[in-house]
Amino acid sequence: MRRILGSVAVAGAVALTATACGGTSDSSSNAGGTSPQSPAAAAAGCTEKGFTGTADAKTVTVYSVDGLGDWYTKRFAEFEKQTGIKVQMVESGSGEVVTRMEKEKANVQADLAVTLPPFIQRAAAADLLQTYTPACADKVPAAGRDTNNMYTAISNNYLSWIYNPDQAKPAPASFKDLLDPRFSKRLQYSTPGQAGDGTAVLLELQHVYGKDGALEYLKQLEKNNVGPSSSTGKLQPKASKGELSVANGDVQMNLASVHNDNSNFKLWFPADDTGKKSTVALPYYAGVAKGAPHADAARKLLDFLLATDAQTALGTDVRGLPSREDVKPADSNTAEVNALMQGVEVYTPDWNQVVKDFDADIAAYNKAVGH
């Protein structure tokens, strides 16, 4: 299950083995905000090979949104064994990753940042990231890479909804179904502007109904909504216990909860008024922090997480999907995710435009629902 932390927690990673994409890059901290392309990426595409650590970098600090914990634990252990570089993790919510980096801008603590859109784009816009093209980035589709090389997707994920099969009878199938009075104070979604998945709810409804239509829909839905929630993960146990009939989530987190925690809910994707089901792409994006104390180690780690071995392990470790289009795991977890996504249109917003409109859209949302 996704770990939800009321406050930021720091944990050192442990130890194991694997091959990594790329070679040794420039060892400077690069406080100026630019960094070279990885030698492997600069050469003929993605090259699988290991590398050793540098004498001046014995640790690397990662600020990450929660959700990839089990994958991180195993991969960070392998990275430490191969390079001698230990990984420290600071795990929090999507927006909190960026907020913490903003507060520490004059005294940078993070080396690598991992968070969901549009928060990684906000970090780039706030000059919190430096340019870097990791090895194997050429294997990540254009939608998973920043045009200015500030961040790269390391795992694919999608907005989903969950319902308790004992409470939601009949099961909801469409957005219109969620307006039914039977869900009065039995429904909750994480708050747009605070949670990545909650922001995706607003973007999905904008995609389905347009901006004005999305606000009108959410205004009507507020009659059934329990109230604001800054954490999507905290909605899972409420739905499982039957305190909620319906909630939002994301595919990777929800499936992990069902299988690892025996959660009593089912995943679904609401249909629009024509019966068409769609969802929003929510990749885990990673970027090297501007002024990172251990920038070289951060680049090595990012290369490592895009290596074939690490990408292949996403399904078995956390029911995640590779960001690299050439990596196609054959495990049963990945097959389950792929089957779930059949018949669902994946909508990828223009995240840079989302960032430009973000404050105005969130203000309009708060006004519409009376927050």
pLDDT at 194 (0 to 100): 84
Residue range 192-219, pLDDT digits in tens: 988 889 999 999 999 999 999 999 999 9
Interatomic CA distance for residues 350 and 94, integer angstroms? 18
Interatomic CA distance for residues 223 and 179, integer angstroms? 8
Residue range 284-338, pLDDT digits in tens: 999 999 999 999 999 999 999 999 999 999 999 999 999 999 999 999 999 999 9
Mean pLDDT for the chain?
87
pLDDT at 17 (0 to 100): 30
Interatomic CA distance for residues 82 and 309, integer angstroms? 13
Burial of 343 (0-12, 13-18, 19+ CB in 10 A): exposed
Residue range 51-109, pLDDT digits in tens: 565 545 799 999 998 889 999 999 999 999 999 999 999 998 888 899 999 999 999 99
DSSP 193-208: TT-HHHHHHHHHHHHH
pLDDT at 51 (0 to 100): 56
Taking alpha carbons only, the member of 18, 9, 10, 1 closest to residue 308 is 18
Res. 247: pLDDT tops 90: yes
DSSP 244-275: -SEEEEEHHHHHHHHHHH--S-EEE--B-TTS
- The mean per-residue pLDDT over the stretch 136-165 comes to 96
Res. 155: pLDDT tops 70: yes
Q: Is the dihedral of CA 123, 362, 163, 185 positive or negative?
A: positive
Res. 28: pLDDT tops 90: no
Please indicate, yes or no, whether the overall pTM of this predicted structure exceeds 0.75: yes
Phi-psi region of 11 (alpha: psi -120 to 50; beta: other; left: phi over 0): beta
Residue range 335-347, pLDDT digits in tens: 999 999 999 999 9
Q: Indicate the SS3 state at residue 25.
A: coil
